[in-house]
Structure 1
């Protein structure tokens, strides 16, 4: 890419940072924060996560269809309103009012409302953002570059979100002041990155909408064999990633008994992902996107499979797992969106495709929320160490989902439309 193109792609990718900063606490840290610090019940929190995510899942295809009809000033206004709602919901998740914190029922209801607001706003931004990126370039190199920059900025946001909330909670300064400052910094990052997208990034390459609207878009997706064959493996793989994300802090605190290392583990994991991201992009150019993704999935299974055997004090071994699994995550982040972008017809409803895509990702997250009431059924309680069930649900179950996804992808012939990107030289 030329220097001017790189700057414009960077302006596009920058929004990935605050989107990740908001997603990580909602999916990983909020369950621990509400159960261990605010006193919500484990099963109640799990059901709230599940129901809120189901609500979020249902709305994504409709948001995708609506976004396809937006352009120019209307698209800009849509994304600015979404950013405002996301900033307010982010503030609300960390800072429930005192009267809410005084009641377990009120606390769970507040969490549900804030989660739905955050999920809705995140979807409003993210679907438009992904659809925008899919139309940045028609060539494989441009799509890989846009995807890699977007995910790289997202990883930087994930690292920040890994360290800062954990530090606030563990230092004892997790009251209103610390999280108010953190929420304000997030709002500022969101505003700057959105401005860069709207005024500096390459323009949205709008295509003509389907005359039949949503029905026509659904019919086009149903008749797309590459898209259909990608959906189930993508969904199962997303479940395999979502379950550990929901349980990571519980595993670190109660299985490893190393809460002081939680921020370091998460930061290591996402830094390893950032390091691995350009390696997976290079591998995809050399051997093909589909094959590179398969290798990444196999690496994740090998890295994560033995985690179920870890126990108290196994800090170094878990650190190795974080590095290896983090490297493998780079393939999950960068490569599937490229596969999707390349099975979408040139004049098809791009945002509608991404609406279904994010629906599956969020359905996977909803299912992962059920891991908490499942653990409660096995008498696990946050803060109580030694639960064998925690290790199995955290590590073994995700590996089963990922293995099935890998086998499903393996059945695709080499000439299948999933293997759409030509091998190119670096």
Structure 2
């Protein structure tokens, strides 16, 4: 077994565990717990996605510019990730729930994107040191961890509901423990090479937006991503009433 590749699985699981609640759990939690309307929730999520589109190139530039201090940058991003997750699920909103939701998700989005960029960029450099088949071996460990994280994020709130009255608070606590473990395990893997000269993030946008074909591809990407975001967000809103209706129907059949 290649030494320390399990660290990549663990950190991939952390990132994946943070990603799923953004669309699946958080909207349903705020609608059920604080009475936020689904329409206003959809508006906020759409606005946040637009922010995410603009800030991702800026975060990529930041990740490259701070590469010599990558361990510090990753540690700060993990702190923001954990704090945002805790504020989202374990803290009663001190302001209007919709604004608190937007604020927490902005922190969660930003930390998630920055860590993803750093993680995959570091993976390319790491794979080149593993010899023939290094990229495939590293990808296997990494994507296996991602799958584990997605499954954990999907199942944990349901499983925790059987043990506590505040499953999402417990989920945030378990997420913090996973973050500590993953960050500590991955610490030696961040190499922090010298940063390459990069233009400003605004300069990076210009050639893309000036290219007619690139603009069309961006539109296609938007149309492709929209159904995924909508269906994943609305999934629990659809399934839960259907499951409850089916349960009541079966109870009625048994009584009759």
Please tell me the TM-score bracket, short chain as reference: 0.7 to 0.9
State the alpha-carbon separation in 1 of the partners of residues 195 and 111 from structure 2: 24
Give 1:34's aligned residue: 30
Q: Does 1:161 align with 2:150?
A: no
The match for 2:179 among 190, 203, 207 is: 190
- Aligned pairs (5 A) from 1:162-177: 162-168=154-160, 171=162, 173-175=164-166
CA distance in 2, matches of 1:144, 1:118: 29
1:241 Cα offset (Å): 3.3
How many residues are paired up? Answer: 243
Give the CA deviation at 1:208.
3.2
Distance 1:247 1:184 in 2: 26
Which segments of 5 or more consecutive residues in structure 2 lack a partner in the other structure?
Answer: 248-256
Q: What is the Cα-based RMSD across aligned positions, in Å?
A: 3.3
Contact 1:10-1:149 at 8 Å conserved across structures = yes
- Distance across 2 between alignment mates of 1:154 and 1:184: 20
- Please point out which of 71, 78, 91 is paired with 1:96: 91
* CA gap 1:34/1:183 in 2 versus in 1, 3 angstroms: same
Distance 2:63 2:93 in 1: 38
CA distance, structure 2, for counterparts of residue 204 and residue 234 of structure 1 = 32
| Long gaps (5+) in structure 1 | 101-105, 260-310, 314-426
1:117 aligns with 2:112: no
CA contact (8 A) 1:17 1:155 kept: yes
TM-score of the superposed pair, with normalisation by structure 2: 0.79
The answer (yes or no) to whether the contact 2:20–2:150 under 8 Å persists in 1 is yes
Instruction: Pick one of 229, 234, 242 that aligns with 1:242.
Output: 229
Matches within 5 A, 1:335-346: none
Q: Is the 8 A contact 2:88 2:104 kept in 1?
A: yes
CA distance in 2: counterparts of 1:236 and 1:142, whole angstroms: 35
Q: Which of the residues 126, 139, 148 maps onto 1:147?
A: 139
Residue 240 of structure 1: CA displacement? 4.4
2:250 matched residue in structure 1 = none
Please say if 1:20 is aligned against 2:16: yes
TM-score by length of 1: 0.50
- Higher RCO structure, 1 or 2 (CA under 8 Å, sep 6+): 2
**Equivalent residue, structure 2, for 1:70:** 66
Quote how far apart the aligned CAs of 1:118 are. Answer: 1.0
Correspondences of 1:2-401 after superposition (within 5 Å): 3-4=1-2, 7-72=3-68, 74-97=69-92, 100=95, 106-138=96-128, 141-168=133-160, 171=162, 173-175=164-166, 178-199=167-188, 201=189, 203=191, 208-210=196-198, 212=199, 214=201, 237-254=224-241, 257-258=242-243
Q: Shift of the alpha carbon at 1:204?
A: 5.5
Structure-1 residue corresponding to 2:251: none
- The Cα of 1:17 is off from its aligned counterpart by 0.9
Confirm or deny: 8 A CA contact 1:9 1:202 kept in the other structure. no
Seen in structure 2, the aligned counterparts of structure 1 residues 188 and 209 have a Cα distance that, compared at 3 Å, is: same
Contact 1:85 1:118 in 2 (8 A): yes
Q: 1:122 to 1:166 in 2, by over 3 A?
A: same
Supply the distance in 1 between the matched residues of 2:21 and 2:218 (Cα, whole angstroms).
26
SS state at 2:127 partner: coil
How far apart, in 2, do the equivalents of 1:75 and 1:85 lie?
A: 15
* 1:151 to 1:108, Cα distance in 2 relative to 1, 3 A: same
Cα contact 1:28–1:245 (8 A) shared by 2: yes
